[in-house]
A and B are shown apart, each in its own frame.
Chain A
Amino acid sequence: KAGVTQTPRYLIKTRGQQVTLSCSPISGHRSVSWYQQTPGQGLQFLFEYFSETQRNKGNFPGRFSGRQFSNSRSEMNVSTLELGDSALYLCASSGRTGNTIYFGEGSWLTVV
């Protein structure tokens, strides 16, 4: 069974640009959540989607957004990139709340 797949793995963007990251959850998992990991703040929750609906959102500005498709695949978008957005962005999936949450390998974003 394939794990959580994230693309791209590495990318470099310029300040002010926008970026879209993609996540394919484990087959059968309908919950997809996103996290940002930085050395200074650690792992922080961005948002969670279930059946194409955002059910939960962390404390991030509106520049961070996401969506989920009918096949449970998810994308997150960051607009007007800032240097501080440089981070590892992790996607995780689970079958339902309270079930094990599995992470992908992440997308490394560098903003220059």
Chain B
Amino acid sequence: GESVGLHLPTLSVQEGDNSIINCAYSNSASDYFIWYKQESGKGPQFIIDIRSNMDKRQGQRVTVLLNKTVKHLSLQIAATQPGDSAVYFCAEQNAGGTSYGKLTFGQGTILTVHP
């Protein structure tokens, strides 16, 4: 299979701390990367994306870093809030190829923010 085992990594932080969620991707041909947040019972919600010609992109309270050399992606969340508690997925796509619509997802990380 292409993703996910039974045991998701977990990250537990205090409200106000910065969070860093890491992801290793598998396909060196991937040129488009997305982070999604999924809350219980809901579909994945787009957070931020980055293309392979960039190594950093910032959004509101979030930053994505891309290291193509080691095929690593990270999501930084500043001043984490209880509402940020969710499962976070990274996804990769070979957008320049024929992978139409196909994202390959990482296993996900459970983020828990304590008040």
Contacts and interface: CB of A to CB of B under 8 A. Distances in A.
Nearest to B45: A103
Contact of A105 (B42, B49, B99): B42
Given A44-B1, A58-B102, A98 B95 contact: yes
Contacts of B93: 98, 101
A43 interface: yes
A32 B98 CA distance: 15
A47 B99 CA distance: 10
A98 B102 contact: no
Interface stretch (B56-64, B65-73, B104-112): B104-112
A44 B2 contact: yes
Interface residues of A, number: 32
Contact of B101 (A44, A94, A105, A106): A94
Contacts of B107: 42
B102 to A, nearest CB: 5
Nearest to B102: A45
Interface string B27-66: 0000010101000001111100101000000000000000
Range of interface residues on B (Cβ < 8 Å): 20 to 34
| B-side interface mostly | loop
A100 interface: yes
A39 interface: yes
B39 to A, nearest CB: 10
A81 interface: no
Contacts of B98: 55-56
B99 A56 contact: yes
Contacts of A33: 100-103
Given A50-B100, A56-B100, A94-B101, A101 B34 contact: yes
Given A44-B1, A98-B95, A101-B46, 14 more contacts: A33-B101, A40-B4, A42-B105, A43-B103, A43-B105, A44-B2, A45-B101, A56-B100, A97-B100, A101-B101, A102-B46, A103-B45, A103-B46, A105-B43
